[in-house]
Amino acid sequence: MEHITLNNGVRMPILGFGVFQIQDADECKTAVVNALDSGYRLIDTAASYMNEQAVGEALRQSDIPRDELFITTKLWVQDSGYEKTKQAFARSLERLQLDYLDLYLIHQPFGDVYGSWRAMEELYEEGKIRAIGVSNFQPDRLVDLITHNRVTPAVNQVETHVFCQQLESQAIMQEHHVQIQSWGPFAEGKNNMFHNDVLLGLGEKHKKTPAQIILRWLRQRDVVAIPKSVHLNRMEENIAIFDFDLTEEDMKEIQSLDTNESLFFSHRDPKMVKAIGTNRRDI
């Protein structure tokens, strides 16, 4: 597995395994076990996914040394604020059955973000988290957070795929030494992604699947990706991207697919902000 180095010197796998929408405990545990057996070392979950416990059980079942794993989870909106963040972090750590986290993210840019960040800075400085970051922060929100706090986020996890490439956002992140990470690298198959003519053509050229072309494209942009699958053959396919290179011409061809728009929703839509802010979960 190849790695990138975060702004605090911590090394992070360039490709990981996500567990969003795998809520069945047994299915999630099996998926994580299979992912680890397939060579993944970065596992990405969140309190709001309701599967931290299953992930923790899979990790305990594995004989992979803890220092070879990179475990990420996230703070949900209703737990924002200084005190609630400390409490939510402790609950996540208990469910994951871990002594520390490799990466802890503010899941959404809403609520008492500053109170949460102060708590996370303290947890980071106490050695309970190796790196702290954010998710779904637009460039203005990210720069504002950086400007008014001591610790710069190590990661910003945002929707990034061939139809929403985040080129301008990535440039701003690079300027501020924040690592971009892709959620939804396959966009849940929207826009008929796996049958796209450009991706099919590049797949034929390199003898790879469209999914492998997408993940290789992200890797060559230095974007960390966390594809999800509950199927072992897809997990193995997704990790087999380190034996070929896309040419500069290939990369430009994929860049032509960018619509510069989300295929899901805008984090600047007031209705969506309200919906996320009132989506209370017992986590």
| Ramachandran assignment for 186, one of left (phi > 0), alpha (psi -120 to 50 degrees), beta (any other) | alpha
Of the candidates 51, 44, 42, 54, which has an alpha carbon nearest to the alpha carbon of residue 21?
Answer: 51
Is 124 a known active-site residue?
A: no
Q: What is d(CA 109, CA 104) in angstroms, rounded to the nearest whole number?
A: 14
Task: Work out the number of other CB atoms within 10 angstroms of the CB of residue 66.
Answer: 12
Question: Of residues 40, 49, 104, 124, which has the active-site annotation?
Answer: 49
Of the candidates 144, 132, 147, which has an alpha carbon nearest to the alpha carbon of residue 85?
Answer: 132
CB 12 within 8 A of CB 3: yes
Q: What is d(CA 266, CA 174) in angstroms, rounded to the nearest whole number?
A: 22
CB 178 within 8 A of CB 153: yes
The residues annotated with a catalytic role in the active site are 49
